[in-house]
Chains A and B, each alone.
Chain A
């Protein structure tokens, strides 16, 4: 599928002299800017709904704070391993990269498992999104966040598996790709760092 013009497009790997960025890095930052607006709108909605509500449940009375804290620790660790996998590539240590990216993916899968367990216990107690505005925003925001986690797992698994063949043909570009995937992953992590206190603690 690669078109013949692919090679003719400049700055796909090397940074441009005046912007100091290669194309995909600018692209991912722009994408993340739009993601900030997406989640920003939801956070604003949360504030507007909560300030307008006569009563609002404390998150800890419905959700399990230990499980949430455990998930937070998982995501922070996965961000660290993601970063280290990129530095491993920069050090030309492909085996270490495979290991660290593999751990990142596993941590993300465990996160989703815990999230699924949390959802199912809520459903058992008939805590559905339709029950209250608090639960509606809880399920909407964590659900959207979980979709982002799934997206990250798909990308990282591709980079770990078939995508890693590029290491042999174009190591510099492959390293860039991991950097890009990492930026996205850190963002997903960061969103959770806001979601956890907002939904579980406040």
Chain B
């Protein structure tokens, strides 16, 4: 954990030895950074899994040069990828990106680091739970990584682990389930902590309608995690029972595998797993996006120097969004034959849930109107989030209509749709957050030029990767083909697009090098932040000294106004922080 060394010079607590201060730390800021570093590692790892898949899709059956033979005879004999290995890569790419990369970065890292600072709290409400949450996440990550090395390799039934396939899959699936139980425990502890912190530890004067939108986003997210994850845990326990004790929760009667009737009692339901899984996994989609919306809102208001338009309306929208996200899950299951009446219900709720998302996005756009915008790196990423999330969200509507979904279900169109939301959407917002709060965490800015070199190629490459997938999906190419569609005649017209996507992915790889360099270089050599409030922002985290000490704030705080009072008429400066009485 030497990456935390930079804190050493600023605040020394001689009473805590190194391992307690930086490794088994109970300080929300250290835990936030631990979450951040680990999640960024997993994002990169999941990205590399995807690069391997993209090689196979663009050049099916061709040996991967140089590094191909590193993966062993069981996975890539002679550098040529086996279908089984491709399936492992697919399942683990999804699992790692969602559960070990984006959510821990958005909720574990930013939630932990920023929320207590923004509400003026000395720490999270339960520091020990917080530490336990990180280490459960860490252990879950290790289990997932270790599963690549067990006989038969890692889980290969998709990140959704649909039975009966997942029930009869190799040992890796059991590891996947154990890993998920650890990750669910971690997010459970984290969400209890976040909600309690926001309810209990707000400083005097910070009423609910003075909370920054980011805190609201984290609050709703925490409720989603708290209530949506346990059903998946129940489903995970049942799948473990199926795999280890031969029960038949998800196994219907009369299954025949490789010509042999399975010796099971039968009588289970495969749809039961899908219902339980999507009861988690649809709110999970909002867990991916809400913190991103929170980050983008902070950065947009700060850099337009205007109050946030429709602050209260955005809060009502995000609460409504949270409620609705619990009753849309079966729109993932239109093609399972669950019945048209159920489909009609979930189609209606799906159309309704798009309304608050559009309200939020519209207010973000309206906030730009008439502002004197500062185009710094965090703002560029935040601005790119808006159209990218817009494309991702609007292309989701046809998927929510059960008739259109018959054609689009499980095609590359789906892949393109949710990657637009998560990759150039959420991940761009997370990059924006890293650039924006970096001075608070380290006392130094990240380099602006490198930031722009990171931003523009990333934006272009993201679109090169995902835009062709819409076209492939409309042509009917299924998302789970390991040869990219080579064995289907109808797909041949859109096959060349696979290579375009792959070149885009290579470009995206190169575009991340300036970020990685910038991140580590700026910790030590970046431009020093001019003050505790280098962006001239209004929220409470900027009242704390840079690299805040244990306990965060030097003197007691009081809040005098709403979170986004920029350019108040009659005020001497163009921002009126919440923590200043007269400004």
Seen from chain A, the residues whose Cβ lies within 8 Å of a Cβ on chain B are 1, 3-6, 8-11, 16, 19, 21-24, 26-27, 30-31, 33-35, 37-42, 45, 48-49, 52-53, 128-133, 136-137, 139-140, 144
User: CA A132 – CA B234 in complex, angstroms?
Assistant: 19
Asked if B310 is at the interface (CB within 8 A of a chain A CB), the reply is: no
Which residues of A are found within 8 Å of B191, using beta-carbon distances? Answer: 30, 34
Identify A27's interface contact among B16, B196, B237, B246, CB under 8 A. B196
User: CA A132 – CA B245 in complex, angstroms?
Assistant: 12
Which residues of A are found within 8 Å of B121, using beta-carbon distances? Answer: 9
Report if A140-B241 is in contact (Cβ < 8 Å); known contacts: A16-B200, A133-B248.
yes
Are A129 and B246 closer than 8 Å at their CB atoms? yes
User: CA A140 – CA B247 in complex, angstroms?
Assistant: 10
Identify A48's interface contact among B20, B226, B269, CB under 8 A. B269
Interface size band for B: 35 or more
User: CA A86 – CA B125 in complex, angstroms?
Assistant: 24
User: CA A52 – CA B248 in complex, angstroms?
Assistant: 13
Identify A33's interface contact among B227, B264, B267, B275, CB under 8 A. B227
A184 to chain B: closest CB distance in Å?
13
User: CA A32 – CA B581 in complex, angstroms?
Assistant: 41
Which residues of B are found within 8 Å of A129, using beta-carbon distances? Answer: 241, 245-247
Are B196 and A34 closer than 8 Å at their CB atoms? no
Identify A49's interface contact among B13, B229, B237, B267, CB under 8 A. B267
Are B188 and A34 closer than 8 Å at their CB atoms? yes
Are B127 and A3 closer than 8 Å at their CB atoms? yes
Are B122 and A26 closer than 8 Å at their CB atoms? no
Jot down 15 A-B pairs with beta carbons below 8 A, ordered by A: A4-B13, A16-B199, A19-B199, A23-B196, A27-B129, A30-B192, A38-B231, A38-B234, A40-B230, A42-B238, A49-B249, A52-B269, A130-B245, A132-B265, A133-B248
Are A37 and B249 closer than 8 Å at their CB atoms? no
User: CA A144 – CA B238 in complex, angstroms?
Assistant: 11
User: CA A161 – CA B229 in complex, angstroms?
Assistant: 34
Which residues of A are found within 8 Å of B188, using beta-carbon distances? Answer: 31, 34
Which residues of A are found within 8 Å of B245, using beta-carbon distances? Answer: 128-130, 136, 139
Are A49 and B551 closer than 8 Å at their CB atoms? no
Are A9 and B123 closer than 8 Å at their CB atoms? yes
Are B249 and A11 closer than 8 Å at their CB atoms? no
Other than A41-B276, A133-B268, give 13 A-B pairs with Cβ distance below 8 A: A4-B16, A5-B26, A5-B123, A9-B121, A16-B200, A30-B196, A31-B188, A34-B188, A37-B229, A37-B231, A41-B233, A129-B241, A133-B265
Binary interface encoding of chain B residues 532-553 relative to chain A, with 1 for a CB under 8 A from any of its CBs, else 0: 0000000000000000001100
Asked if B201 is at the interface (CB within 8 A of a chain A CB), the reply is: yes
Asked if B102 is at the interface (CB within 8 A of a chain A CB), the reply is: no
**Residue in chain B with minimal CB distance to A35:** B230
Are A9 and B122 closer than 8 Å at their CB atoms? yes
Sort A-B residue pairs by CB-CB distance and give the 8 closest, nearest first: A41-B231, A136-B247, A38-B230, A41-B234, A130-B246, A37-B230, A133-B267, A8-B122
Give the contacts of B47-76 with A (CB-CB under 8 A): none
Which residues of A are found within 8 Å of B195, using beta-carbon distances? Answer: 26, 30
**Residue in chain A with minimal CB distance to B15:** A4
**Residue in chain A with minimal CB distance to B229:** A34
User: CA A8 – CA B265 in complex, angstroms?
Assistant: 57
Are B229 and A130 closer than 8 Å at their CB atoms? no
Asked if B235 is at the interface (CB within 8 A of a chain A CB), the reply is: yes
B236 to chain A: closest CB distance in Å?
10
Which residues of B are found within 8 Å of A41, using beta-carbon distances? Answer: 230-231, 233-235, 276, 279
Are B248 and A136 closer than 8 Å at their CB atoms? yes
User: CA A119 – CA B13 in complex, angstroms?
Assistant: 54
User: CA A179 – CA B434 in complex, angstroms?
Assistant: 41
Are A5 and B127 closer than 8 Å at their CB atoms? yes
Are A23 and B126 closer than 8 Å at their CB atoms? yes
User: CA A48 – CA B241 in complex, angstroms?
Assistant: 17
Are B26 and A133 closer than 8 Å at their CB atoms? no
Are B196 and A140 closer than 8 Å at their CB atoms? no
Report if A30-B126 is in contact (Cβ < 8 Å); known contacts: A3-B26, A38-B231, A49-B249.
no
Are A136 and B122 closer than 8 Å at their CB atoms? no
Are B127 and A130 closer than 8 Å at their CB atoms? no
User: CA A53 – CA B145 in complex, angstroms?
Assistant: 39
Which residues of A are found within 8 Å of B123, using beta-carbon distances? Answer: 5, 8-9
Which residues of B are found within 8 Å of A39, using beta-carbon distances? Answer: 234
A163 to chain B: closest CB distance in Å?
15
Report if A30-B226 is in contact (Cβ < 8 Å); known contacts: A8-B122, A130-B248.
yes
User: CA A35 – CA B229 in complex, angstroms?
Assistant: 10
B129 to chain A: closest CB distance in Å?
8
User: CA A49 – CA B276 in complex, angstroms?
Assistant: 13
Asked if B165 is at the interface (CB within 8 A of a chain A CB), the reply is: no
User: CA A128 – CA B263 in complex, angstroms?
Assistant: 14
Report if A34-B272 is in contact (Cβ < 8 Å); known contacts: A5-B127, A144-B237.
no
User: CA A39 – CA B146 in complex, angstroms?
Assistant: 30
User: CA A23 – CA B276 in complex, angstroms?
Assistant: 31
